[in-house]
Amino acid sequence: MAGDALRNILLVMAALAAGAVWASVPPPPVNQYLGIPDTRFAEMTFVTCLGCHGAPESTSAPLKSGYLPDRHHLRIDTPIGAYSASPFPEKSPDGEHKCVTCHAIDWVEDPSRPSGGFFRFAQDPSDPVFRDCLNCHTQKKNRQGELIATVHHLTERAQQANCHICHGSLIDDPNGDHRIPDPANHPDDPENHYDISLTTPWPGIGFYDSRVQLRGALKAAFAYKLELPPNPTEEDLRRKEEAEAQIEYIMENFNPPIGETGRPMGNCTYCHFAGIDDVTGQRININYANHHGTGVGQPGSGSVHGCTLCHQPSAPPDFTIRGCERCHGITSLHSIEYDAIGDGVVAGEELPFFGHIGNRKNCDGCHKNSRDEMVSASIDSRFDNITLIPEISEISRTVVTAGLASTLQIIGSGFVNTLSSSHTSGNQERTWLRLTRNDGTTIDIHPDSVSSTHMEVTIPANLSAGNYNLTITKGDPSGKELNSTSIHFLIKPEVAIDDIRCEGEHLTLWGSGFGSYLDAEDSGTLLSSNGERCSIESWSDRKIVASCVGGIENPVRLNSIFGTATTNVTCRRAEGPRWWSIWSWWSSWSWARR
């Protein structure tokens, strides 16, 4: 087993290294190794959903979420949130998820049945449409039938602007406290201020074709200096003059060269543009389509956000980088690098076009906005202390059983930095695995071993069953933590019968992992003895009371939503009253009669 695991790891690492050959170099499009693919999840089907969220062995994208029935069943008896996709929340008696809040049940009349009929699913469980994700996770369309919002960004996480839960540290939360060095919007933080300049990246290339639009964008960026108060001071006038001079300097020298990608340098779309990714075969869209296609902030989408989540009202459509920095901050952008060779990342010495800091060409692609001057950003000593964002590409399993310790093998990139000779192995101790529950509480597990591309970690047996988000987390010298994109990780309850008691036709079971019961044909939940189905009187996660017509014989078989269990233990009969109990009762009764 160990040999097979090692061989599989080596094969994956070889495939990652081979990606440097088969990658889109130069882009566009950008290689889709890190994070969620830069594409629009539009006009989705059940098959599209399973491409990322299906069983791990068939998953092609780096999400690799856990087996979907278990993932949903673990939400039973948990609160139905404001943005829940549950189609029948009104059927819940207590505001929590139940079987019937997701599954439609029909009553079928049948006089041959003792109760005159039976319940069954409205859809045949053997039909693929029974588990069609879009039955519940519906996409949002406008009155014209045009798709304006996918299911991903209408969730509670997205509506609360908690982007990091899905995207990790590759982007920042728009309402977070990350650094946005904008002197106009942060006048009380002069230490981090810098104005728009020739080295400042631009979002796109629309203003390259229009000098009027370029000037408009610059005026919007410097408006806080250009707009004078009613009684301006000499300092106000000086600042306006400096701003006007800066704008003229940029207008005269803003002349981005054409790089080897075939596109103008100095902006995001130099690399992030439309095309077909050579490795995955995915269709990659331009940033405009990707961002607007999510539905976040789109009018009529149902999102609580508006356009101002990204766009500055005072700026023209092709605004400056400041709006982008709400989600794409300085720290996050300068921590992105894919380890194409698998030997660790050294800033400035990696292959170009696999990240943002690995090669001088990457820096120039963002920052070089002049043909005549060497104004592009330089790689200097500040990169010595940078912490790279880790990323997961393979994981050995995404479902484990509670009560059993399980070892995970995780393959990825950037687990450990190799940034300069000043770094030591102590950095490895700052990388760990993090499990986050739905309520936001976290469990940190330190790995058994870790390298730049591989982690082995043991999931302890004492973790409770439930849904978790799994990330690789790293700490930097400043105390900040960086997370990979998240993978949905499941801890299933162990289905076990610990004790059994019989009294006539009545049967009581104690154990664990029984889950919830649904009184319907083919529901997957039943108790049987001697091959005959028992009638359920009560069913909880740890106790079942049932009546088995025709007597109780071993084995007794339990089918729960999380698995099956069979007991061959002798059915313990209910104990009758002892002789002294009878004597005590008679004595008490006889004295009462005197």
User: Is 385 buried (19+), middle (13-18) or exposed (0-12) by CB count in 10 A?
Assistant: middle
pLDDT value, residue 58: 44
3 state SS of 193 = coil
How far CA 128 is from CA of 102, 405, 416, in Å, comes to: 16, 34, 42
Check: CB of residue 85 under 8 Å from CB of residue 136: yes
Whether 411 and 507 share a structural domain: no
Counting every residue written for the chain, the total comes to: 594
Task: Judge if 550 and 419 occupy the same domain.
Answer: no
315 and 216 in a single domain? The answer is yes
In a domain, 516, yes or no: yes
pTM of the model: 0.81
**Residue 420: both structure tokens together:** 């300069």
As a whole number of angstroms, the distance between CA 527 and CA 374 comes to 76
Instruction: Verify that 216 and 323 share a domain, yes or no.
Output: yes
> 462 with 511, same domain?
no
Find tokens 């029984």 and name the residue: 514
> Where is 360: in which H helix or E strand?
helix 360-367
Does residue 22 lie within any of the structural domains? no
Same domain? 438 vs 541:
no
User: What's the CA gap between 436 and 450, in Å, rounded?
Assistant: 21
d(CA 36, CA 43): 18
- Which spans in 55-95 are helix H? 68-73
Please give the pLDDT value at position 380.
52
pLDDT of res. 93: 92
> Does residue 474 contact residue 482 with C-beta atoms inside 8 Å?
yes
Task: Examine residue 591 and state whether it is found in any structural domain, yes or no.
Answer: no
136 in the same domain as 38: yes
Q: What is the pLDDT of residue 246?
A: 94
Q: What is the pLDDT along the chain (594 residues), one digit of tens a residue?
A: 333 333 333 333 334 444 444 678 899 998 888 888 888 777 778 777 877 776 544 443 334 445 678 889 999 999 998 888 899 999 999 999 999 999 999 999 999 887 889 999 998 887 877 888 888 888 887 777 777 777 888 888 888 888 888 899 999 998 888 888 888 877 777 777 888 888 888 888 766 678 888 888 888 889 889 999 999 999 999 999 999 999 999 999 998 999 999 999 999 999 999 988 887 788 888 888 888 878 787 777 778 888 888 877 665 555 678 888 889 988 889 889 988 888 877 777 888 999 998 888 898 899 898 887 655 545 454 555 677 899 998 899 889 999 999 999 999 988 887 544 343 444 444 899 999 998 889 999 999 999 989 999 999 999 999 999 999 999 877 778 899 999 889 999 999 999 888 887 888 999 999 999 999 988 889 998 878 888 999 999 999 999 987 667 678 899 999 999 998 656 665 555 544 444 444 455 454 444
pLDDT of residue 227: 92
**Domain annotation covers residue 198:** yes
- pLDDT the model gives residue 322: 83
Which residue, 351, 379, 407, sits at the end of a domain? 379
Report CA dihedral (2, 7, 10, 15) to the nearest 10 degrees: -140
- Domain holding 512: CATH number? 2.60.40.10
Q: Residue 269: which of 311, 214, 307, 324 has the closest Cα?
A: 324
432 within domain boundaries: yes
Structure confidence at residue 3 (pLDDT): 37
Q: Are the beta carbons of 91 and 105 closer than 8 angstroms?
A: no
Say whether both 483 and 505 belong to one domain.
no
Distances (CA, A) of 319 to 46, 64, 242, 267, 471: 37, 36, 21, 12, 34
Where does a domain end: 379, 406, 440?
A: 379
**Do 351 and 204 share a structural domain?**
yes
Closest among 46, 25, 63 to 168, alpha carbons compared: 63
Q: 309: exposed, middle or buried (C-beta count within 10 Å: 0-12, 13-18, 19+)?
A: middle
Instruction: Say whether both 268 and 285 belong to one domain.
Output: yes
Residues 6+ apart with CB under 8 A from 372: 253, 255
Cα(256)–Cα(368) distance, integer angstroms: 6
Q: What is the pLDDT of residue 106?
A: 94
Three-class SS state of 128:
helix
- CA-wise closest residue to 521 among 512, 537, 533: 533
Same structural domain, 352 and 259? yes
Which pLDDT does position 101 carry in this prediction? 94
- Domain of 293 in residue numbering reads as 179-379
Q: For 470-519, give the secondary structure using H, E and C.
A: EEEEEECCCCCEEECCCEEEEEECCCEEEEEEEECCEEEEEEECCCCCCC
Mention every residue, 6+ apart, whose C-beta is less than 8 A from residue 161: 173, 174, 175, 305, 309
Q: Tell me, yes or no, whether 235 and 196 share the same domain.
A: yes
172 domain residue, yes or no? no
With respect to residue 189, please indicate whether it lies within any of the assigned structural domains. yes
DSSP state of 437: E
CA–CA dist 471, 473 (Å, integer): 6
The residues that bridge with 402 in the sheet, in sequence order, are: none
In a domain, 395, yes or no: yes
Given 475, 492, 509, which residue is the final one in a domain? 492
Instruction: Say how many domains are in the chain.
Output: 4
